[in-house]
Amino acid sequence: MTDVIVPKVAGGAYAPVHEEHGPTGLMKWITTTDHKVIGMSYMITAVALFYIAGLLALGIRVQLTTPHGTFISFQQYNELFTMHGSIMMYLFAGPFAFGGLANYIVPLQVGAPDMAFPRLNALSYWLYLGGSIMMLMGFGVAGGSADFGWVAYAPLSTSTYTPGLGEDLWIMALVLTGFSAIFTGVNLVATIFYLRAPGMTMFRMPIFTWNMLVTGILILIAFPVLTAALVMLFCDRHFGTKIYSVTGCHTTAGIVDVHACGSAVLWQNLFWFFGHPEVYILALPFFGIATEIFPVFSRKPVFGYKGMVFATMSIAALSTGVWAHHMFTTGTVLLPFFSLMSLLIAVPTGIKFFNWIGTMWRGQLVYTTPMLMSIGFLFAFLMGGVTGVMLASPPIDFFVHTTYFVVAHFHQVLFGTAVFAGFAGFYYWYPKMFGRMLNDRLGRVHFVLLFVGFWVTFIPQYVLGLHGMPRRVASYPTGLGWQSWNIASTIGAFMIAFSFVVLLVNVWVSWRYPVPAGDNPWDAHTLEWFTTSPPPHHNYTHLPQIRSERPTWDYNHPDAPTIRHGRSQGPPNGHGPYTGGDGGPPGHGNGSAGVARGVPAT
Amino acid sequence: MKVESTFLLGIATFFGIIAICYWFTSYEDGGTTMLVGVTALGFLPGTYYYFWHRRFRGHKYFFWGRTDRVVGTRPEDRDDATIQDGAGVINSFPGSSVWPFVFGGGAFTLLLAFVFGVWLAAVGISLIVTALVGVTAESRRGGNH
């Protein structure tokens, strides 16, 4: 155990950096409890799984290039789309955000030396890695991997229809990753509630941290339900319970005995009570990333800070009351209630869009790769969001349910968030994590290929959906005009794949020919840019006084007018008049390396 | 503590109202149970934080009474707090530890036992027990630095 004392105030004498004297090499990665190393482990694992799931998607697209494709068998096709969805949803998007980026960034942003429970944090990672390996093991067992779709609807997922080992491995893998997510959620909430630096009030926290707090609460709401539902599904498959199973509940006279019969719709209720908040568990962190990036590269404070916070809370709250809009066509749910709740989510999301645009409005925009990716996120998520509003209307949903329209909708939502905003965060924080820059020109090439590929892939899928092409089919009839749209979609998918080859090249270039980043290469606002890149063990040797939600900016630009929320407390760091309120003029800073640390804050 | 407790109690209030609306419009058990669960998830820690918020301000009970000793708010809850106000030890953080890895391996093996055979459970449980003993001993000893 190491007692960590509060860092000294910036400008004072340096406190000695506490060096970790733990193991080195591989043992360092295995035994670490440092949130930064764990966060990086999470990110490396998640991105590796993202590439694997991307390859599976290419397999799907190649199969659909011709109406009666023979690239893979129908069984393999089922396995491919199941594992593509499962890996992307459960093992990439969520863990990359709340296990990787949040683990690394949140303690830095609130001025904490580590997460609240470092060993639990390490355990979360090992459970996640174990779950990931277990799910992939499905490809190696007899009968192949799980093939019931990432939603595992009963009764298809009961042992009568999918008796294989791959399905059992899938269920157990999600139990492991479910516990991992719950532990991370507890850790995030406890860190934010208890380990903030002095003066870092709740309404001075960066929006990313706010979003991660709300995401942490959503994890605690959603994941226990999924884990419990999966355990019950496993009991149905192997221990003879009848919770979802509907086989064998007829009496000898052929009458259905309701007391001996499970409810297949119960699975859908439980699954989507997890599944819809899960969509926002995957979206809110990425909203937070974009909200960090827009102000920095517009040279302005974020527009409507409190509006952003309350919009995040509203989205999260509403998202937990809309689960059955995935079940409109079952005929067992209350259409007006779930339709209204779903449509209401558009309001706080719209507020966020206005605030993002307001942040950029009349700012001095700097089109670096993170900024381009974030703007790409705006377009992609807007399209996905608008079609989401359409799908919240039951008459439209009845028409396009289980077609490619839905596939295109949720890919635009999740691609917009997890890929555009996710990799915006990757480009943005990479200098902080590794102390070296990624090449901006290669980053732009990555963005352009990704952006064009994205639309070429998914716009044809909307058309296919409206023409009636069902999802989860490995072949389709000729003569309906579907093939040309499918070919277009496949070309787009390969463009996206190529863009991620460019990313690999970029990372390789940054390792082979490092360009030092400095502490604050973007002239950014929030606390994580105050410490060194990469940060020392326990993060901070000294901290600036925290007087607004932009402490690093205040420290580096003592004469700049600032904007604060809540009560006025006089000028930041004792510099300059408090002008407050009007957002501050644009045009400060030029993106050059930040002020050297240790400069006295006189 | 006030914002934290308000945040959690807000969750409880919202989902309490939604649970009531949902029950009386649908009479559906599963969804209502889960919404009541979410209400409790906000209510329990929310009241805990509210209790401590009141105690810091010197209130003896939830809504009435005042004692002389006022602790005040934490430095991280005050707009005007300086870094010096938080001087002292933040917390004790563990150094490197192999036991989360061992526990994770044990959990992995234990769940594999449900798929491949009970014999794996012996390995899994052994690893988990070893890790629990190990982490407890490590904490008592003071751990690695």
pLDDT per position as a tens digit, A112-127: 999 999 999 999 999 9
Side-chain-side CA neighbours of A493 within 13 Å: the count stands at 25
Q: 3-state DSSP call for residue A256?
A: strand
User: Which residues in chain A (198-217) have CB-CB distances under 8 A to chain B?
Assistant: 198-203, 217
Q: What's the token pair of residue A273?
A: 């009570």
Instruction: Answer yes or no: do B26 and A118 touch at CB < 8 A.
Output: no
Which residues, in sequence order, are CB contacts of A79 under 8 Å at separation 6+? Answer: A138, A139, A144, A145, A146, A147, A166
Chain B positions in Cβ-Cβ contact with residue A320 (cut-off 8 Å): 15, 35, 38
Instruction: Answer yes or no: do B86 and A6 touch at CB < 8 A.
Output: yes
CATH number at residue A500: 1.20.210.10
Q: Which of B14, B31, B92 sits opposite A317 (nearest CB)?
A: B14
Rounded average pLDDT over B23-45: 91
Chain B positions in Cβ-Cβ contact with residue A333 (cut-off 8 Å): 26, 28
What's the pLDDT band for A248 if we cut at 50, 70, 90? confident
- Per-residue pLDDT tens over the stretch A510-538: 999 999 998 999 999 999 999 998 999 88
What's the complex ipTM?
Answer: 0.93
CB proximity B136 to A under 8 Å: no
What whole-number distance in Å separates Cα of residue A98 and Cα of residue A91?
Answer: 11
What's the pLDDT band for B141 if we cut at 50, 70, 90? confident
Q: Taking 80 as the threshold, does the pLDDT of residue A602 lie above it? A: no
Size of interface A-B (CB pairs under 8 A): 205
Q: Under the phi-then-psi rule, with left for phi > 0, alpha for psi from -120 to 50, and beta for the rest, what region is A598?
A: left
End-to-end CA distance of chain A: 36
Indicate the helix (H) or strand (E) that contains B100: helix B99-116
- Per-residue pLDDT tens over the stretch B45-67: 999 998 888 887 777 766 666 66
Chain A positions in Cβ-Cβ contact with residue B48 (cut-off 8 Å): none
**Given this model, what pLDDT does residue A24 score?**
81
**In a domain? residue B129:** yes
**Given this model, what pLDDT does residue A598 score?**
32
**In a domain? residue A524:** no
CB proximity B40 to A under 8 Å: no
* Best residue of B56, B77, B78, B111 to probe chain A, by most A CBs closer than 10 Å: B111
Rounded average pLDDT over A68-97: 94
**In a domain? residue B87:** no
Rounded average pLDDT over A216-226: 94
- Per-residue pLDDT tens over the stretch A272-285: 999 999 999 999 99
User: Which residues in chain B (91-110) have CB-CB distances under 8 A to chain A?
Assistant: 91-101, 103-105, 107-108
Q: Which of A6, A269, A569 sits opposite B31 (nearest CB)?
A: A269
Q: Taking 50 as the threshold, does the pLDDT of residue A572 lie above it? A: no
Q: Which of A1, A112, A197 sits opposite B142 (nearest CB)?
A: A1
Instruction: Answer yes or no: do B112 and A176 touch at CB < 8 A.
Output: no
Domain of B45?
2-79
**Given this model, what pLDDT does residue A240 score?**
85
Rounded average pLDDT over A159-183: 94
Q: Which residues of A306-335 are buried (b: 16+ CB within 10 A; e: fewer)?
A: ebbbebbbbbbbbbbbbbbbbbbeeeebeb
The residues with which B93 forms a beta bridge, in sequence order, are: A2
Instruction: Answer yes or no: do B90 and A31 touch at CB < 8 A.
Output: no
Chain A positions in Cβ-Cβ contact with residue B7 (cut-off 8 Å): 202, 313
**Given this model, what pLDDT does residue B44 score?**
94
Q: 3-state DSSP call for residue B66?
A: coil
Instruction: Please state, for a pLDDT cut of 90, what percent of chain B lies above it.
Output: 52
DSSP H helices in A513-577: 551-556
Chain B positions in Cβ-Cβ contact with residue A200 (cut-off 8 Å): 76
**In a domain? residue B60:** yes
Of B32, B51, B79, at which residue does a domain stop? B79
CB proximity B121 to A under 8 Å: no
Rounded average pLDDT over A149-177: 92
Same domain, yes or no: B107 and B52: no
Q: What's the token pair of residue A140?
A: 């190696």
Same domain, yes or no: B40 and B73: yes
Q: How far is CA A396 from CA A108, A405, A466, B120, in A?
A: 45, 11, 10, 50
User: CB-based burial of residue B60 (10 Å sphere; 0-12 exposed, 13-18 middle, 19+ buried)?
Assistant: exposed
User: Which residues in chain A (316-345) have CB-CB distances under 8 A to chain B?
Assistant: 317, 320-321, 323-324, 333-334, 337
**Given this model, what pLDDT does residue A15 score?**
46
* Best residue of B39, B79, B109 to probe chain A, by most A CBs closer than 10 Å: B79
What's the pLDDT band for A571 if we cut at 50, 70, 90? very low
- Per-residue pLDDT tens over the stretch A380-395: 999 999 999 999 999 9
Instruction: Answer yes or no: do B96 and A33 touch at CB < 8 A.
Output: yes
Judge contact between A329 and A395, C-beta under 8 A: no
Same domain, yes or no: B56 and B104: no
Same domain, yes or no: B27 and B65: yes
Same domain, yes or no: B6 and B47: yes
Instruction: Answer yes or no: do A126 and B87 touch at CB < 8 A.
Output: no
Same domain, yes or no: B75 and B105: no
User: Which residues in chain B (43-72) have CB-CB distances under 8 A to chain A?
Assistant: 49
Instruction: Answer yes or no: do B91 and A125 touch at CB < 8 A.
Output: no
Measured between CA atoms, the residue of chain B closest to residue A115 is B93
What's the pLDDT band for A563 if we cut at 50, 70, 90? low
Structural domains of chain A, count = 1
Q: Taking 60 as the threshold, does the pLDDT of residue A600 lie above it? A: no
Q: How far is CA A252 from CA A140, A244, A257, A573, B140, in A?
A: 41, 21, 10, 82, 63
**Given this model, what pLDDT does residue A22 score?**
73
DSSP string, A336-365: HHHHHHHHHTHHHHHHHHHHHHHHHTTS--
DSSP H helices in A435-581: 440-466, 482-512, 551-556
Rounded average pLDDT over A206-227: 95
What's the pLDDT band for A371 if we cut at 50, 70, 90? very high
Average of per-residue pLDDT values in chain A: 88
What's the pLDDT band for A61 if we cut at 50, 70, 90? very high
- Per-residue pLDDT tens over the stretch A3-15: 666 666 665 444 4
**In a domain? residue A582:** no
- Better-predicted residue by pLDDT, A252 or A142: A142
- Better-predicted residue by pLDDT, B105 or A253: B105
- Per-residue pLDDT tens over the stretch A449-480: 999 999 999 999 999 999 999 999 999 999 89
The residues with which B70 forms a beta bridge, in sequence order, are: none
Domain of A380?
29-247+257-512
Nearest to A219 by CA among A245, A180, A257, A192: A180
DSSP H helices in A475-564: 482-512, 551-556
Judge contact between A66 and A490, C-beta under 8 A: no
A50-64, A331-345, A550-564, A569-583: range with lowest mean pLDDT = A569-583
Instruction: Answer yes or no: do A202 and B3 touch at CB < 8 A.
Output: yes
Q: Taking 80 as the threshold, does the pLDDT of residue A107 lie above it? A: yes
Judge contact between B36 and B19, C-beta under 8 A: yes
**Given this model, what pLDDT does residue A285 score?**
95
Q: Taking 90 as the threshold, does the pLDDT of residue B74 lie above it? A: no
The DSSP symbol for A470 reads B
What whole-number distance in Å separates Cα of residue A53 and Cα of residue A411?
Answer: 14
Q: Taking 60 as the threshold, does the pLDDT of residue A42 lie above it? A: yes
Same domain, yes or no: B54 and B12: yes
What's the pLDDT band for A71 if we cut at 50, 70, 90? very high
**Given this model, what pLDDT does residue A305 score?**
93
Q: Which of B79, B90, B112 sits opposite A569 (nearest CB)?
A: B79
Q: How far is CA A494 from CA A205, A419, A420, A503, A535, in A?
A: 40, 15, 17, 14, 37
- Per-residue pLDDT tens over the stretch A407-437: 999 999 999 899 999 999 999 999 999 999 9
Rounded average pLDDT over B66-89: 79
- Per-residue pLDDT tens over the stretch A283-339: 999 999 999 999 999 999 999 999 999 999 999 999 998 998 999 998 888 898 899
Same domain, yes or no: B46 and B8: yes
Q: Which of A1, A196, A569 sits opposite B76 (nearest CB)?
A: A196
User: CB-based burial of residue A455 (10 Å sphere; 0-12 exposed, 13-18 middle, 19+ buried)?
Assistant: middle
Instruction: Please state, for a pLDDT cut of 70, what percent of chain A lies above it.
Output: 90
Chain A closest-CA separation from residue B65 CA (Å): 27
**Given this model, what pLDDT does residue B95 score?**
84
Structural domains of chain B, count = 2
Q: How far is CA A220 from CA A38, A87, A127, A187, in A?
A: 21, 21, 17, 11
**In a domain? residue A235:** yes
What whole-number distance in Å separates Cα of residue A45 and Cα of residue A38?
Answer: 11
**In a domain? residue B85:** no
Q: What's the token pair of residue A282?
A: 């995957």
**In a domain? residue A584:** no
**Given this model, what pLDDT does residue A595 score?**
28
State the CB neighbour count (10 A cutoff) for residue A9.
18
Chain A closest-CA separation from residue B3 CA (Å): 7
Chain A positions in Cβ-Cβ contact with residue B15 (cut-off 8 Å): 317, 320-321
Nearest to A289 by CA among A118, A430, A151: A430
**In a domain? residue A17:** no
- What letter represents residue A311's amino acid? A
**In a domain? residue B91:** no
What whole-number distance in Å separates Cα of residue A344 and Cα of residue A497?
Answer: 35
**In a domain? residue B136:** yes
Q: What's the token pair of residue B64?
A: 């009435």
**In a domain? residue B84:** no
Instruction: Please state, for a pLDDT cut of 90, what percent of chain A lies above it.
Output: 76
Q: What's the token pair of residue A574?
A: 């004792």
